[in-house]
Homo-oligomer: A and B are copies of this chain.
């Protein structure tokens, strides 16, 4: 017993102990070529005795593939992104690929830096979840590594992307509110530089216009996709003493914050004010009242991303269409009159 400390058995040691050449052991391991029954038996035994595990590092260096895909998320804490990552993880499960995850925190420079890091670590592909980088920048990266980008409409030899129809879903939510008899509908916006936030705002405005309803600019207040932003926004809105019967929040977190602001003032939901959110986070089913919101099929998005990646990497996968957004009608909207 000389291998005391974390010593790792190598292929050579196995070969020596088994009295065969390293090449043969390798062939046995990978099924690359036939090895005779007697040798196979010895090798099998020796591997068991020595508890040999191939060094993936060496394999990667040799084969030019790390069996790792990099994921650029924005925040490890985001329920939004993590659901997607679970999907990616599950899509990759059987393939032997591992996920190297890094966060860009919605900061273009940091995102680019992380992608560089990922490439430096020789990942086989990079999945980019939204973020603030230029499309051009991402296209540039795609010359160095296969990329699948969620939230971007990018396509090319080594890159694929897809978006969800945020605009359409926002319209759908607004239609619902209007159909329930609401006329004065407030909107808490998201970060102005965020594509999805912009699409949702456009959906709000266009639907109002389509119904020839006044789009009172005082009814649109800025938010930042966070609970505290929603709280602030609603306080700000209330301070202007504008009348409104419904509120469309650009995401669920914002809706949570707004809901608390209402609670603080004793304004009931949905009796006094109706609320619609966007995302359908897990907890939205359990708020009081359960939140009516646009469901983003994030897990499926992850599956989709994973599948696209695997396909780019040359592993045939069943196509998985980008899933649609849909309105989850729960209990935060009241039917008027």
Contacts and interface: CB of A to CB of B under 8 A. Distances in A.
Given A6-B144, A79-B79, A100-B100, A56 B86 contact: no
A85 interface: yes
A191 interface: no
B98 A98 contact: no
A31 B189 CA distance: 51
A76 B66 contact: no
B53 A120 contact: yes
A103 interface: yes
Contact of A288 (B99, B231, B288): B288
Given A100-B98, A121-B56, A143-B6, A286 B227 contact: yes
A116 to B, nearest CB: 8
Contacts of A55: 61, 122
Contact of A56 (B77, B120, B231): B120
A68 B285 CA distance: 38
A326 interface: no
A282 interface: yes
Contacts of A257: 286
Interface of A: 6, 53-58, 60-61, 66, 68, 75-77, 79, 82-83, 85-86, 89, 98-103, 117, 119-122, 143-145, 158, 227, 231, 253, 256-257, 259-260, 263, 282-283, 285-290
